[in-house]
């Protein structure tokens, strides 16, 4: 029987259903297309966003570069007063290695009186100075002959300055930028072998590396291997956070592809070398292999040995885990693994690999946790920089700041303070570390700060006593009294007799001030210079009142004391609080023959391209008559020869001429000394932070620190040319009358022309003998002191 045909009415539902399905399909297709378009647009927009982000940072300012601060540049020339031992110490500070083979910069060798050195190159403000090999021969007087590789004499050589600190942005990232061309090939090859073997063949992401890492992690049941390329690591560090979210990994992959699309491999690799995080020093983050090389080994990257290269590269995996200072065993194991990879990939030989595995880690002592190895000096640098630069520029523009600090003088000052105070505590059975102190050293003529110590823990940031400890200064202000008197030659000379008998001064409120001498005795009539030499309070106070307190305060202001001091008599004997840096200003003027020289810690500021932004030249202003400064200095030499500073000569020979002044505050709370030689001026304060008595005078406290310090650094004997209006005469000491060189006990003294005594000593035989000898061509007053 034939099948039953469907009627039209039966076909209708099927057609309708088909039409509906077709309509739905069309709608779904349109929706899918729209969604695809939207997703594509969003993805394209997101990729454009990522692309802009990559380009903006990569082509713009990648990093906020901190200002780097350098010590003074060591310059050597024939006859320079610099010893073989001093140069050897400086080279060690700079990270030079003592070895016979001088094939690389940063090495030196000592043979007898000669130091052979392969000096590093450096970009100075007047141009780059290349690395070169030199031989420096020393004599007893200092530097003898300097010869270069070609046997030709070198007139002047400059060593690269020591990096002493930086001024860091808030995130405290620090780095020394490297250029790829300056990175050793062994380092680049080793890094690529360990971190990304297919770096030069992938396009930002390596599927093979990802698959290999995934398989290893599945087998281990935990994350044991990463699949990130160098490009991905750079993206993560430069643009993204370190979290492990899937979204971050996707962004990392996309941005890596985009980065490789825009930039070539060398540029990516150079950025990686400068960005990678490699450790922490307090709040300071160590970024890049350039800085890490100095941080761990105190030498540039191109001077590292294979074992040191392996250690740095091994730390990339985990700077904290493989920190060689905290975890030396883990760091050694990781380093040796890297050495094995270097050998496997034929980057080093089997012999080199064996030597590298056997080598110690070779890291330097842990650096100071702060931003500088000399934080007290850096505080002074910061304060002077703020006069010319915004903090943001100092933190981000990569400025190079060349300072006046002498590392050898700084180390001597730190060592002298710590060792001497420890000895005093032991001698006097005081509690350990109970005494504190501060030291400032400058160049006598130029006011350049060579050393600054803010306390016994000199390498750590703490209260900076050199700049901020305001303490009573005792007799340190007395030279201003005597300078005020000597500026009136018609009334005063070094031999003018002063009254050291009891003195009472009644104030307006009826209180009586009665100054006393340290020995609790009175000494009658004494010469002016002798009153200063012995630091007699009563004679000094009476002289100051006779001159007028306001006149003495004016002299203090002219000498450099900018702080307004109280106008009452006791200030003449140091009843005023000053910081060591303020005392330094006064003595700097005396040491510079009456020229006020602003104390400076900075010489030059350069930008990242070595263009000079600012120079800080020496500025001089005559504020005290040179003749007055000369006579005041002569009196201060007597302080050291026959007065409160004479213990200096238990360490130094009598031929060494220095000028100085001790200071002791009430109840022996503060011990001070200020003194200068021909080349150096030093201020030392010793006391207790709680202002309790130390039991120390200036002589048996601060002066001992000063003497120890100057013995270590070496100083030049003071030699001053007398001003034109200074004349010399033989004086009978017992009477102060004019004498002759044949008179018994006669001594030569300088006078401002026209102020010679009128009375003649009995020893003069007849008028033709003249009775005195005026000498205007005398080389130096100090002839009488050394018996020449």
Give the whole-angstrom CA distance, residue 154 versus residue 431: 53
Q: Are the beta carbons of 437 and 465 closer than 8 angstroms?
A: yes
Per DSSP, the chain holds a count of helices (H) and strands (E) of 23, 33
Q: Tell me how crowded residue 612 is: count the other CB atoms within 10 A of its CB.
A: 13
Q: Are the beta carbons of 115 and 87 closer than 8 angstroms?
A: yes
Give the whole-angstrom CA distance, residue 167 versus residue 721: 43
Q: Which of 293, 475, 558, 699 is catalytic?
A: 475
Structural tokens at position 527: 């010469």
Give the whole-angstrom CA distance, residue 711 versus residue 600: 24
Q: Tell me how crowded residue 336 is: count the other CB atoms within 10 A of its CB.
A: 17
Three-state secondary structure of 159-183 = CCCCEEEEECCCCCEECCCCCHHHC
Residue indicated by tokens 């392996």? 310
Give the whole-angstrom CA distance, residue 269 versus residue 277: 14
Give the whole-angstrom CA distance, residue 332 versus residue 356: 11
Structural tokens at position 440: 């400032």
Q: Are the beta carbons of 405 and 450 closer than 8 angstroms?
A: yes
Burial class of residue 591, CB neighbours in 10 A (0-12, 13-18, 19+): buried
Residue indicated by tokens 């021969």? 137
Give the whole-angstrom CA distance, residue 89 versus residue 415: 14
Strands 107-111 and 97-98: parallel
Give the whole-angstrom CA distance, residue 218 versus residue 236: 24
Is 475 an annotated catalytic residue?
A: yes
Residue indicated by tokens 């990175």? 183
Q: Which of 90, 160, 173, 195 is catalytic?
A: 195
Give the whole-angstrom CA distance, residue 745 versus residue 740: 10
In sequence order, the 6+-apart residues with CB closer than 8 A to the CB of 549 are 567, 568, 569, 571, 572
What is the total residue count of the chain? 788
Is 195 an annotated catalytic residue?
A: yes
Q: Which residues are catalytic?
A: 195, 475
């Amino acid at each position: 029987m034939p099948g039953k045909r469907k009627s039209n009415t039966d076909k209708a539902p099927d057609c309708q259903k088909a039409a509906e399905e077709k309509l739905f399909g069309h709608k779904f297709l349109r929706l899918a297309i729209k969604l695809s378009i939207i997703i594509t647009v969003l993805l394209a927009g997101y990729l454009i966003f990522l692309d802009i982000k990559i380009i903006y940072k990569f082509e713009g300012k990648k990093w906020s570069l901190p200002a780097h601060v350098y010590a003074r540049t060591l310059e050597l020339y024939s006859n320079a007063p610099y010893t073989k031992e001093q140069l050897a110490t400086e080279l060690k500070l700079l990270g030079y290695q003592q070895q016979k083979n001088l094939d690389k910069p940063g090495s030196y060798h000592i043979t007898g009186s000669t130091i052979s050195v392969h000096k590093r190159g450096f970009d100075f403000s007047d141009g780059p100075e290349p690395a070169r090999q030199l031989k420096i021969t020393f004599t007893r007087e200092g530097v003898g002959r300097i010869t270069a590789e070609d046997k030709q004499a070198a007139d002047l050589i400059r060593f690269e300055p020591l990096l002493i600190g930086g001024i860091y942005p808030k995130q405290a990232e620090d780095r020394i930028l490297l250029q790829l061309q300056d990175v050793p090939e062994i380092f680049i090859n080793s890094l690529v072998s360990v971190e990304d073997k297919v770096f030069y063949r992938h396009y930002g992401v390596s599927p093979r590396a990802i698959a290999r890492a995934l398989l290893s992690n599945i087998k281990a049941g935990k994350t044991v291997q990463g699949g990130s390329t160098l490009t991905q690591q750079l993206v993560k560090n430069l643009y993204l956070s370190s979290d492990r979210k899937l979204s971050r990994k996707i962004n990392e992959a996309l941005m890596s592809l985009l980065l490789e699309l825009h930039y070539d491999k060398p540029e990516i690799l150079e950025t990686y070398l400068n960005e990678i995080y490699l450790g922490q020093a307090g709040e300071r983050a160590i970024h890049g292999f350039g800085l890490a090389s100095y941080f761990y080994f105190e030498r540039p990257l191109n001077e590292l040995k294979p074992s040191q290269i392996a250690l740095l590269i091994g730390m990339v995996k985990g700077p904290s885990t493989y920190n060689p200072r905290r975890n030396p065993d883990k760091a050694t194991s990781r380093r040796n693994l890297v050495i094995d990879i270097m050998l496997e990939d034929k980057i080093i030989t089997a012999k080199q690999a064996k030597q590298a595995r056997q080598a110690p880690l070779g890291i330097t002592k842990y650096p100071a946790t702060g931003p500088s190895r000399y934080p007290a000096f850096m505080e002074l640098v910061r304060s002077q920089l703020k006069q010319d630069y915004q903090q943001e520029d100092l933190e981000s523009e990569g400025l190079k700041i060349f300072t006046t600090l002498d590392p050898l003088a700084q180390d001597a000052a730190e060592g002298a303070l710590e060792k001497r105070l420890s000895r005093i505590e032991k001698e006097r059975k005081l509690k350990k570390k109970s005494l504190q102190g501060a030291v400032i050293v400058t160049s006598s003529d130029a006011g350049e700060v060579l050393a600054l110590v803010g306390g016994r823990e000199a390498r750590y940031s703490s209260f900076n006593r050199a700049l901020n400890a305001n303490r009573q200064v005792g007799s340190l202000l007395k030279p201003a009294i005597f300078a005020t008197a000597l500026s009136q030659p018609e009334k005063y000379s070094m031999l003018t007799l002063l009254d050291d008998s009891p003195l009472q001064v009644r104030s307006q409120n009826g209180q009586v001030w009665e100054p006393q001498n340290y020995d609790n005795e009175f000494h009658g009539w004494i010469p002016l210079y002798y009153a200063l030499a012995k630091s007699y309070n009563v004679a000094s106070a009476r002289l100051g009142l006779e001159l007028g307190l306001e006149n003495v305060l004016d002299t203090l202001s002219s000498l450099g004391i900018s702080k307004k001091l109280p106008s009452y008599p006791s200030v003449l004997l140091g009843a005023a609080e000053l910081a060591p840096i303020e005392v330094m200003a006064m003595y700097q003027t005396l040491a510079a023959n009456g020229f006020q020289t602003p104390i400076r810690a900075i010489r030059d500021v350069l930008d990242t391209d070595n263009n000079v932004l600012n120079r800080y030249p020496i500025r001089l202003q005559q504020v005290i008559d040179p003749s007055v400064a000369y006579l005041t200095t002569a009196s201060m030499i007597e302080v050291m020869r026959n007065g409160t500073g004479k213990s200096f000569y238990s360490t130094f020979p009598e031929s060494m001429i220095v000028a100085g002044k001790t200071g002791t505050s009430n109840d022996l709370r503060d011990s001070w000394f200020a003194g200068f030689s021909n080349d150096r001026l030093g201020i030392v304060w010793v006391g207790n932070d709680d202002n309790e008595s130390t039991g120390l005078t200036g002589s048996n406290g601060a002066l001992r620190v000063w003497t120890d310090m100057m013995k270590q650094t070496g100083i030049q004997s003071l030699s001053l040319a007398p001003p034109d209006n200074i004349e010399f005469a033989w004086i009978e000491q017992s009477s102060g009358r004019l004498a002759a060189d044949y008179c018994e006990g006669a001594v030569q003294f300088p006078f401002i022309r026209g102020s010679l005594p009128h009375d003649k000593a009995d020893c003069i035989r007849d008028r033709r003998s003249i009775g005195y000898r005026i000498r205007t061509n005398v080389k130096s007053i100090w002839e009488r002191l050394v018996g020449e």
